[in-house]
Structure 1
């Protein structure tokens, strides 16, 4: 695959869950660790997992989502996709209330293995610590490695 292909794939999430699912092989293994979604060979379940991202109704509470590809590192067989994600009009995120209709922005990465031009394996990880901070919750990220006394 290439940057053009994975950009079409990631943009499909905002348009239609069915379109997004069409990029996956019949026998696939999907894992989104932050969302605790682990789906294997069940396109109906994958479609349900993708439905909120295609929402176009700001009043639904599911949010309006935008994805973009920042970089593709790979080839036609496998690749790492660095992506950005933005959501507005979310009622909650990970069960936490989103106050004042604030915008949520983060980035992440997903690893694809392709078979016959389709996604056969996907592993997703995204930065949720900064999302929780954006929601106004106190999260301290200790940079212990910057302390010269650490590890002596």
Structure 2
């Protein structure tokens, strides 16, 4: 059965969001993936700490990994605390991994995490996007569209 699109993902508490990704990339498709975390990492995320601004995902062999995501050490953790920037395994089905790997290899796309959140069952999830990088002129067009929408909303508010 196909996974639901990102609008139907059951996000209860968003911990980290990569807002820059939607500006830098054309988002083609989104996936929901679980993350293999240790206990202190989960506790840090529940406190709302964590960053995925420089993070990306890659496929190594038959596994997907989240690279360069930062989950700071838990403040009350002891010697069993975790390493903040370690690679974290993403939990996806084999067919999803092979589909992502094919898109990355053939089409030159990249895997970008859009957000880290807890679902309604309390599980930590990553919203992963299959994306293609934007050129400078595409970014200028995005800025122009965003400014026009803002002006349009302001005009509509003033008129009535």
TM-score by length of 2: 0.29
Question: Relative contact order: is structure 1 or structure 2 higher (C-alpha 8 Å, sep ≥ 6)?
Answer: 2
TM-score by length of 1: 0.30
Larger % of helix: which?
A: 2
Rg bigger for which structure?
2
